[in-house]
Amino acid sequence: MKPYYDEDGITIYHGDCREVLQSAPPADLILTDPPYGISYRSNHNSSRRGKWAKWIRYENLPGIAGDDAPLDPEILPECQSAILWGGNYCADRLPPSRCWIVWDKRDGIGSNNQADAEMAWTNLNKPTRIFRHLWSGLLRAGEENVAVADKLHPHQKPVALMRWCIEYADTPPGGLVLDPFAGSGSALVAAKNLGRRAIGIEIEERYCEIAARRLAQRELFTTEQ
């Protein structure tokens, strides 16, 4: 299958991961954020206007392909290290794990009508950890707050979070990170910044293009934000 993007050890395939994974090489880490099966739609108020209008364009993003049913983990290849964001939505189909990762999205600010945290299932033989990184509407820490005013994907994850996951999984330098649900490419950007190879698979072409544009930009931060 011809790659949509292939530069500096990072490859994106535009297609259904159930087909592309059949020919994908073994990975050192599967790091992915698949559809949760919740038919997500933004609950931002589309009637808001005025000076904030340019900041809320992501409220009209379409739904997520495949989000009408929970993930079937059987479609993912076996891998020594795996981190599956939204694993709590399909935990009944996953093996028990001693190591869950909790992303604290508030990092000290008050709660609102969105979740305070998100959870990832892992097969790592490590302790459960909490990663704190502010991500609440316009309040976002790290490079996305500087470089990207608009949210690029309804379930977009911070590059800093994905970078931390790659390092916590002890992915070796030059190792291969596989993201079968690449979305806007945060895991791919994190892998590139850390000197890892990566393969991303994305079924929607508009997100392939967004991820490719992000990968073409220089690294804005040399340390984790």
Cβ neighbours, 10 Å, residue 9: 14
Overall pTM surpassing 0.85 (yes/no)? no
Residue 57's pLDDT is 39
Is 167 part of a structural domain of the chain? Answer: yes
Instruction: Supply the CATH number for residue 139's domain.
Output: 3.40.50.150
Is 156 part of a structural domain of the chain? Answer: yes
Beta bridge partners of 30: 82, 178
pLDDT one-digit tens code per residue, 14-23:
999 999 999 9
Is 46 part of a structural domain of the chain? Answer: no
With the C-alpha atoms ordered 209, 86, 37, 22, is the resulting torsion angle positive or negative? positive
pLDDT over 90 at 225, yes or no: no
First-to-last C-alpha distance (Å) of the chain = 35
Task: Say how far apart CA 225 and CA 117 lie, in whole Å.
Answer: 18
pLDDT one-digit tens code per residue, 55-83:
333 334 455 665 556 678 898 999 999 99
Dihedral angle computed from the Cα positions of residues 86, 90, 96 and 99, in that order, rounded to the nearest 10 degrees: 0
Distances in Å between the alpha carbon of 125 and those of 17, 121, 122, 134, 170? Answer: 27, 12, 9, 27, 11
> Domain span at residue 124?
5-37+56-216
Is 222 part of a structural domain of the chain? Answer: no
Is 181 part of a structural domain of the chain? Answer: yes
Is 184 part of a structural domain of the chain? Answer: yes
Residue 48's pLDDT is 38
pLDDT over 80 at 212, yes or no: yes
Task: Indicate the residue type of 146.
Answer: V
Is 43 part of a structural domain of the chain? Answer: no
Residue 66's pLDDT is 55
Is 179 part of a structural domain of the chain? Answer: yes
Number of domains making up the chain: 1
